[in-house]
A = this chain, B = another copy of it.
Amino acid sequence: MKIAIDAMGGDCGLAATIPASLSILKAHPRIAQIQLFGPEEAINNALHTADLMLADPSLRERLCVRHAEAQINMADKPSSVLRERRESSMLLALRALAVEEVDACVSSGNTGALVALARHSCGVLDGVRSVAICAQLPNLDHPTYLLDVGANVDCTADQLHQFARMGCALVKSNHFQSTRSELKPRVRALSIGIESGKGNQTVTEAVALCSADHSMNFVGLIEANQLLMDDCDVVICDGFSGNIALKACEGTAEYIRRFIHQSSSKDQLPLSESEQRSDRLLQVMQASAFNGAVLLGLKRTVVKSHGGSDAIGFQAAIEKAIMLEQGELTEKMIRQLK
């Protein structure tokens, strides 16, 4: 498997993407190559000083640096990037994916630009109108997929219904969930109350469409406080509320981590062993469990990492791309969406 990395995306840029790529190569001997897209000189400089590279210079053999002059900024409008950022690291990485030089692409760059460029470069699956960004929530006993979390700010009921179908296809394509995949995936719609009719008109119409669709098991509305604790497989929502729900969960985890740290340091107590474990769990939850969202509906595998992700978070996003590609997501999606 070969993976393209937009090395310049996100707030941390090379400081996240280079150590993450090296860690992946070290952890996965079967990854044939990682291609790093960005300014050649800057990438090479970062590689020369990277700890993992110094420890194991042979990792360099599975790395390929592909020069990209430009980069897309967080403030760039999706509508203009195709015209104005033709030589950007993100677009060149997606082009390599489109022509099958690589098997998956990971970027933590501008979300709107990534969706627009991925759609343009790789194309969408037959019958798919809108690409959705799908996050995997770290529920205690099984994953719940939340979509859309940011590609489509305003959605129609038809779009929400299609998100439900794409989410179900993802559940069924997940080879780690063989027992659940035989059942119809359980689907809910995110709203502000669980009683029928709570929420807005679009949600109400989407509920009707999903309830009538016998390819899924639509089990009703869900409130955001149950997102991490419910037994369902897929939660559908528009990209505005989904993005807010996901980031609120993530922010609260970080807030509690700081809170525990502050109260420990105030008392000048060392963190107890089990507290350290809780703290590590919170860190992991923060950096990785919430990170790495898949762009659903594309003909190729593209994973979006959080714009603020550090090396650990970015590594988790690459791990997700590997897992999806190993699970033959796209092939299974095509069959499921027929």
Contacts and interface: CB of A to CB of B under 8 A. Distances in A.
Q: A246, A248, A267, A272 — which one has the most chain B CB atoms within 10 A of its CB?
A: A248
A75 interface: yes
Given A229-B251, A239-B192, A252-B252, A200 B153 contact: yes
A227 B252 CA distance: 8
A154 interface: yes
Nearest to A197: B77
Given A260-B278, A272-B274, A281-B263, A111 B251 contact: no
A146 to B, nearest CB: 10
A211 B193 CA distance: 33
17 contacts: A153-B192, A199-B240, A223-B243, A224-B251, A225-B248, A227-B248, A229-B258, A240-B241, A241-B241, A246-B248, A248-B249, A252-B252, A252-B256, A256-B256, A263-B274, A263-B277, A274-B275
A258 B140 contact: yes
A140 B274 contact: no
Contacts of A150: 192
Interface in A254-286: 254-256, 258-260, 262-264, 267, 269, 271-272, 274-275, 277-278, 281-282, 285
Contact of A255 (B223, B229, B274): B229
B248 A224 contact: yes
Contacts of A179: none
B248 A244 contact: yes
A164 interface: no
Contacts of A140: 255, 258-259, 262
A306 to B, nearest CB: 9
Interface of A is mostly: helix
Contacts of A196: 75
A245 interface: yes
Contacts of A154: 200
A251 B274 contact: no
A147 to B, nearest CB: 14
Interface string A212-229: 000000000001111111
A247 interface: yes
A266 to B, nearest CB: 11
A190 interface: yes
A35 B249 CA distance: 38
Nearest to A76: B195
The 3 closest A-B pairs by CB, nearest first: A225-B251, A248-B248, A224-B247
Interface string A281-316: 110010000000000000000000000000000000
A250 interface: yes
Given A227-B251, A241-B241, A251-B228, A193 B74 contact: yes
